[in-house]
Amino acid sequence: MRIHAVMICIALAVFLCSFDWPLENSVVTGTFGEYRQDHFHAGLDLVGSQSAVASTAVGAYADRAVHVRSGADGEIVFAHDEGVSYSSVPVGLGSYVTLQTRDRMRFLYCHLAKRSVRIEPFTVAARDVIGFAGDTGYSGGIHLHLGVYKQDTQAFLNPLEVFPALSDTRLPVVSGIFAQKKGEILSLSDGRMIAEGEYTVFVRTHDVRENMHAWKYLPYEVSLDVNGTPAGKVVFDSITSQAGEAVMGQDRKKLYELFRDGELYSGTVTFSPVRIMQGEVVLTARVKDFAGNQAEYSLKFSVRSTL
């Protein structure tokens, strides 16, 4: 039994280590699950450094470009070159390439520079240049959107789960807990008294990374306890669709119910309904980033009976 577990762990480790980040010196600028006005960010945004190695695979400007390299051996499934290829739909992904590995895992490389997209040959080896980072489509600057899609489960996975670990030593931040009842938002603070009942509780949180000090990221895991009893947990590990709606994680939480409107990057994660009973109550929000750094935020207040 133990041997089996070890073998599974080794196989998993080999599988996870078999992918390479597509940019040299990859820096994350956008995390998985962020609310992006008309969708939820089903991937990572990355910037990287220009490569000195010229590529003959994808045309001109090779020596001055930020090369996007295939994360694994695979095959091109679909490619689009903005303004050059035909598309029946307007493509906010810009110029993009989808690759499939032997394990039916798909990688999506978006916002590539126009005319840099590798369309043929179809077979791609790991580290092959498949395009240059660009600013095509719904993009506000040169970067790469990296998506990972599991064909068998039809789910987008958080690329951090698949690619080698990136250094991250800074703790996430919890900046507040709010409660809402009948449309009224209550800013909870130590010592405050509220009435018992069912509330929607918002945890305002963001993550930070060492090389992007001013940037606010969505953390990987947010949970809420009421007097030490779990009241909810969200893990930003996968996005799929259920009955025409985007849902997050294994618990399939509806994403439009998970965030407050207008919260773009910092993330105000919603837990509802949360039952808060009469007496002394301690609400604790725990937030983790993918590297395991954890922050905790607790509030103690009194709850009166509604009778």
Q: Which residues bind another protein (CB under 8 A)?
A: 36-39, 41-42, 75-81, 83-93, 98, 100, 106, 108, 114, 119-120, 122, 137-140, 149, 151, 154-155, 240-241, 244-246
Indicate the residue among 149 and 301 with the shorter CB distance to another protein: 149
Contact assessment for residue 36 and residue 264, using Cβ atoms and an 8 Å cutoff: yes
Indicate the residue among 90 and 191 with the shorter CB distance to another protein: 90
Closest distance of CB 70 from another protein, Å = 15
Closest distance of CB 122 from another protein, Å = 7
Closest distance of CB 19 from another protein, Å = 19
CA triplet 126, 129, 132: central angle to 5 degrees?
140
Q: Parallel, antiparallel, or unpaired for β 173-181 and 184-187?
A: antiparallel
Q: How far apart are CA 262 and CA 36, in angstroms?
A: 9
Indicate the residue among 155 and 291 with the shorter CB distance to another protein: 155
DSSP assigned state of 133: B
Closest distance of CB 241 from another protein, Å = 4
**Nearest Cα to 289, choosing from 213, 214, 211, 222?**
222
Q: Parallel, antiparallel, or unpaired for β 245-248 and 253-254?
A: antiparallel
Indicate the residue among 88 and 187 with the shorter CB distance to another protein: 88
Q: Tokens standing for 136?
A: 């095509």
Q: How far apart are CA 79 and CA 82, in angstroms?
A: 10
Closest distance of CB 142 from another protein, Å = 13
Indicate the residue among 91 and 157 with the shorter CB distance to another protein: 91
Residue partners of 56: CB distance under 8 A and separation at least 6: 62
Closest distance of CB 131 from another protein, Å = 14
Q: Tokens standing for 40?
A: 């939820």
Q: Would you give the end-to-end CA distance of the chain in angstroms? A: 57
Q: How far apart are CA 254 and CA 49, in angstroms?
A: 36
Q: How far apart are CA 226 and CA 146, in angstroms?
A: 37
Indicate the residue among 243 and 307 with the shorter CB distance to another protein: 243
Q: What is the largest CA-CA distance in the chain?
A: 77
Closest distance of CB 28 from another protein, Å = 18
Indicate the residue among 92 and 197 with the shorter CB distance to another protein: 92
